[in-house]
């Protein structure tokens, strides 16, 4: 049986908001079970690169490896300012 692959060569694309410490082991496991067939697409890398969080009263970023051992990409978001 031939598997359908997208333009990136992956059979499965997983979309998620950002790398989350309790989801990453699942993505790593899928990548090990199906090498080269799973890719995770994040809409933001804020949890890796850091972001201002009022709840933490400052800049926050996880200090654990969230992007190792599986295929991923982080989409670049462009914010346009409305000119009136």
Higher pLDDT, 9 or 34: 34
Query: Tens of pLDDT along 13-48?
Result: 999 999 999 999 999 999 999 998 999 999 988 778
| Backbone phi and psi for residue 52, each to the nearest 5 degrees, phi listed first | -80, 125
pLDDT of residue 80: 58
**What is the spatial distance between Cα 30 and Cα 58, in angstroms, rounded to a whole number?**
34
Residue 1 has pLDDT above 50, yes or no: no
What is the pTM assigned to this prediction? 0.72
């Amino acid at each position: 049986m031939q598997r359908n692959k997208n333009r990136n060569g992956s059979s499965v694309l997983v979309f998620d908001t950002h790398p989350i410490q309790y989801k990453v082991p699942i993505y790593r496991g899928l990548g090990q079970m199906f090498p080269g067939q799973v890719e995770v697409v994040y809409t933001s890398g804020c949890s890796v690169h850091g972001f201002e969080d009022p709840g933490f009263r400052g800049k926050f970023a996880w200090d654990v490896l969230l992007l190792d051992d599986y295929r991923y990409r982080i989409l670049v978001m462009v914010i346009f300012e409305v000119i009136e």
